[in-house]
């Protein structure tokens, strides 16, 4: 149950795993990828937070970037605010996914 007494949503469980520093890299990476199915603002915030955290493994950062791109493509809406917060491998994976799935969006990319 969450604070309101409602059952915890699947995305909330995945965000908990992603943000849990005690979770293994594999668990966090799986959570990052699975979160691509959810466009909730808290999902996006968690993916951005982890992708920009210095101690996060590059594999997880890459998955966060790809998941963010998948969310935007699924919603058919590019978001400059999200894109501009990405850096490093997360940004590279984000851009690669956009080029692969939404080539007409490449004009939004800085590369």
78 domain residue, yes or no: yes
Asked if 88 and 77 touch (Cβ cutoff 8 Å), the reply is no
pLDDT value of position 26: 97
Residue 70 lies in a domain: yes
Residue 53 lies in a domain: yes
**pLDDT confidence tier of residue 3, bands split at 50, 70 and 90:** low
Where does the pLDDT of residue 11 fall: very low under 50, low under 70, confident under 90, or very high at 90 and above?
very high
Number of domains in the chain: 1
At residue 7, φ and ψ (nearest 5 deg) are -60, 145
Residue 68's domain comprises 10-103
Q: How far apart are CA 37 and CA 71, in angstroms?
A: 7
Residue 3 in domain: no
**Average pLDDT taken over every residue of the chain:** 93
pLDDT, position 8? 77
Residue 24 counted as domain residue: yes
- Predicted confidence at residue 6, as pLDDT, reads 62
Res 104: pLDDT: 94
Instruction: Report if residue 25 sits inside a domain.
Output: yes
Q: What is the mean pLDDT of residues 57-75?
A: 98
Question: Does the residue 64 lie in any domain?
Answer: yes
pLDDT band, residue 5 (cuts 50/70/90): low
Residue 32 counted as domain residue:
yes
Most confident of 1-5, 60-64, 102-106: 60-64
Average pLDDT of span 46-53:
97
């Amino acid at each position: 149950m969450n604070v309101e007494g409602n059952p915890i949503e699947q995305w909330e469980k995945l965000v908990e795993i992603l943000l849990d520093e005690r979770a293994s890299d594999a668990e966090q990476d799986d959570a990052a990828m699975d979160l691509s199915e959810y466009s909730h603002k808290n999902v996006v915030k968690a993916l951005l937070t982890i992708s920009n955290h210095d101690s996060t493994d590059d594999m997880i950062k890459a998955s966060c970037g790809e998941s963010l791109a998948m969310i935007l493509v699924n919603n058919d809406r590019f978001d400059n605010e999200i894109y501009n917060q990405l850096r490093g491998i997360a940004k590279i994976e984000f851009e690669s996914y956009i080029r692969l799935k939404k080539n007409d969006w490449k004009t939004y990319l800085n590369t």
